[in-house]
Amino acid sequence: MRIVQLTPGTGNFHCGGCLRDEALIKALRQRNHDAVMLPLYLPTVLDSDHRNDDSTAPSGSAAEVPVFFGGVNVYLQQKSGLFRHTPRWFDRFWDNRWLLKKAAARSGMTRARDLGEMTVSMLQGRHGRQVKELDRLLDWLENQGKPDVVCISNALLLGMAGSIQDRLGVPVVGTLQGEDGFLDSLPEPWRQDAWALVAESARKTDALIAVSPYYGKIMSDRLGLSLDAIDVVQNGIDASDMPAERRHEQTGLTLGYLARLCEVKGLRMLVEAFIRLKQRPELNDLRLLAVGAATASDEPLIDELKQRLADAGHEDDVEFRRNVGRAEKIAALREMSVLSVPAEYGEAFGLYVVEAMACGVPVVQPDHAAFPDLISATGGGILYRCGDVASLTDQLDGLLRDAERRTALGTAGARSVRERFSHHNMAEGIERVLQRTIATAKNRGKTDSTTKSARSNALSLAEGVA
């Protein structure tokens, strides 16, 4: 199959969606599919950037792949009719990767109203203000050789599905992975309008894939679809360079965190739990290692938490590592005794959980969203009462004091991730959905052609009789 994956980039930090799509495309290529990943909005930041690996690019260096719907152009076309009619040579300047990365560094500067308006406009597809960008993508796809299927990374991009189907005559498959939180954060009336447009586009998309059973149920309810209308293929990772055993804890115990360094992922709660743990016997030497993406908008929280730790006398026991590459991430995981990312929102999957488990690190996660299913499927961690810092502290305490249990959970998690949550498992599941979807589309095309032919013959016969 020739597969094109459309993935929004972040410009300057890793995100779970990008890493998931990168691992998927790599595994699909290893299964002999012609699979490529195209960045939208901003350049993608990928693990392969640190491996000199262009396994997701159409050809040559990934830097040669154009960025479609460049973030600056999308914004300018949203704000002014003038920029909706400028020539391509003019637009190309604003799609310069260096400029886009500079724009990404100013994330968080867009007003909520602007964000709502742009989201709705993008979901309107050909009726939105970025139709020039849509036509550019369609031209590129057509000129590069028509794909067998186009995969869209998340539901916020489904507004372009109908145009892809009409122009290229190929099926479109959409992934559902955490869009509800963003949509619910939009101010009205854009929140309601955006949800309505996502639901309308989802019904017209050839197939939908949720990244976990939990999230499939959530989105079936929110979009008014039956559960049967959504396939579930759980995320997977490439653990080939991840050691399944942690380093020996020669320097003491380390509580770990691996996610964006922000409020919504529960970093504040983990810091509070850490401060409580430091007051308990035998845990005086505990350290906290917080690793993950951080934008300019995240820095105030990090500064606030550093002050909170300093006030408690623990500023020297905590380290924040921002925007690390793959090698640095794996090295950090090997330092951790236990990992916890106490996200209270409805996490669709939690890629960081399986990354930690792949390195033999047991996890302590809230008892909601996708986490109970992951813990049950892997045996690589334990749960605490969501939103309850005392429960989190107690569960961490018990596990940090029990080296034998940490080893058992870490071993079970590392084994289960490789058996059930590898990027090969994910690619195999996606492959089945794509093959079925392509076959259904072809059969539908044959039926439509037969119907048109029958109508034409009937019309000719009627004209002859007349």
We report the CATH number of the domain holding residue 324 as 3.40.50.2000
Same-domain check for residues 286 and 150 = no
Is residue 222's pLDDT more than 60?
yes
- pLDDT (tens digit per residue) in 161-209: 999 999 999 999 999 999 999 999 999 999 999 999 999 999 999 999 9
**Domain boundaries, position 307:** 254-420
Phi and psi for 85 in degrees, rounded to 5?
A: -130, 10
- pLDDT (tens digit per residue) in 443-456: 887 655 554 554 55
Sheet holding 254-258, edge to edge: 318-322, 287-292, 254-258, 338-339, 363-366, 381-384
Does 243 map to a domain?
A: no
Does 140 map to a domain?
A: yes
Same-domain check for residues 270 and 214 = no
Q: Are 183 and 198 in contact (CB under 8 A)?
A: yes
**The pair of three-digit structure tokens given for residue 357, joined into one six-digit string:** 């488990």
Q: State the pLDDT at residue 107.
A: 58
Determine if the peptide bond prior to 58 is cis (ω within 30°).
no
pLDDT band at 60, cuts 50/70/90?
Answer: very low
Same-domain check for residues 353 and 218 = no
**The pair of three-digit structure tokens given for residue 96, joined into one six-digit string:** 């310069």
Residue 116: how many CB atoms within 10 A of its CB? 21
Does 445 map to a domain?
A: no
Radius of gyration from C-alpha coordinates of the chain: 24
Give the 3-state secondary structure of 278-307: HCCCCCCCCEEEEEECCCHHHHHHHHHHHH
Same-domain check for residues 225 and 289 = no
pTM: 0.90
Does 373 map to a domain?
A: yes
Same-domain check for residues 278 and 403 = yes
Same-domain check for residues 227 and 292 = no
CB neighbour list of residue 46: distance below 8 Å, 6 or more residues apart: 14, 18, 19, 22, 56, 62
Does 56 map to a domain?
A: yes
Question: What would the DSSP string read from start to end of 206-225?
Answer: SEEEESSHHHHHHHHHHHT-
Rounded Cα–Cα distance for residues 1 and 14 (Å): 28
Same-domain check for residues 202 and 286 = no
Same-domain check for residues 202 and 305 = no
Does 77 map to a domain?
A: yes
Q: State the pLDDT at residue 62.
A: 45
Does 99 map to a domain?
A: yes
Same-domain check for residues 227 and 308 = no
Lowest mean pLDDT across 59-68, 193-202, 226-235, 319-328 = 59-68
Same-domain check for residues 284 and 414 = yes
Does 18 map to a domain?
A: yes
Averaged pLDDT for residues 107-112:
56
Number of domains in the chain: 2
Same-domain check for residues 220 and 264 = no
Identify residue 30 by its one-letter amino acid code.
Q
Is residue 121's pLDDT more than 60?
yes
Q: CA distances (Å), 97 to each of 17, 36, 39, 70, 288, in order? A: 20, 19, 11, 9, 35
Same-domain check for residues 269 and 370 = yes
Q: Are 365 and 341 in contact (CB under 8 A)?
A: yes
